Amino acid sequence: MTEMRRHEELSGDNVQQAEMIAQQRRTIIEMETPVIQVWPGILALPIVGSVDTMRAQQMNETLLDRIVATGSEIVLLDVTGVPVIDTAVSKHLLETVAAARLLGAEVLIVGLSTRTALTLVQLGLDLTSVTTRATMAKGLELAFGRLGLEVLPRRRLSVDPDMGEQ
């Protein structure tokens, strides 16, 4: 009798645990693919943590939908937060680049560290089909260039609403 009760309690715990895990997974999925519109026509997708097949697929779908919804032509894929880019991860990244290109958007991979670049070269992975930059800032600069925009320091006007009369 007590054996059975203990068994029931245990399975109850298991169910609770399973629910908790499922909920946490949902939270992680919601958190892991924030697609940010940084400028009209420019999206940013910061990736934090490792990229497995399931996550890559989810990322892909979210990103492509957002490209269409916002009519964006450039995506900055930020891999600063990806600890290791190996053969599998780079394959996923290249798939994202290819799919976005089919829609008519260009993906720039930014945030490649020296170490990552070295790993990619040593693994013999070909990323020549993708434009890459070391930092998000450089990527953004390039994106502005592609859209025919440039960032200039504000000219001192004789009457500046913020500064008053000069």
Partner 1 sequence: MARVPILRVRDLLVATVQEDLRDSDAQALQVDLGLALERTQAAGVIIDISVVEMVDSFLGRLLNDIAAQSRLLGAQTVVVGIQPAVAITLVELGLELRGVRTALDVDRGFTLVRKLIRQEQLRVTTRA
Where b means 16+ CB within 10 Å and e means fewer, 37-68 reads eeeebbbbbbbeeebeeebbeebbebbbebbe
CB nearer to partner 1: give 74 or 85.
Answer: 74
Count CB atoms within 10 A of the CB of residue 144. 16
Stretch that binds partner 1, among 23-31, 43-51, 70-78, 137-145 (CB under 8 A): 70-78
CB nearer to partner 1: give 99 or 142.
Answer: 99
Among 1, 4, 54, 102, binds partner 1 (CB under 8 A): 102
CB of 140 to partner 1, least distance (A): 20
Size of the site for partner 1 (CB under 8 A): 18
Where b means 16+ CB within 10 Å and e means fewer, 78-117 reads bbeebeebeeebbebbbebbebbeeeebbbbbbbbeeebe
- Going by the DSSP 8-state scheme, the letter that residue 72 receives in this structure is -
| Rounded distance between C-alpha atoms, residue 146 and residue 106, angstroms | 10
- Going by the DSSP 8-state scheme, the letter that residue 41 receives in this structure is T
Radius of gyration of the chain (CA): 23
Stretch that binds partner 1, among 7-15, 20-28, 46-54, 56-64 (CB under 8 A): 56-64
CB of 127 to partner 1, least distance (A): 14
45 binds partner 1 (CB under 8 A): no
68 binds partner 1 (CB under 8 A): yes
Task: Scan residues 82-101 and list those touching partner 1 (CB under 8 A).
Answer: 95, 98-101
CB nearer to partner 1: give 98 or 118.
Answer: 98
51 binds partner 1 (CB under 8 A): no
Among 65, 86, 126, 160, binds partner 1 (CB under 8 A): 65
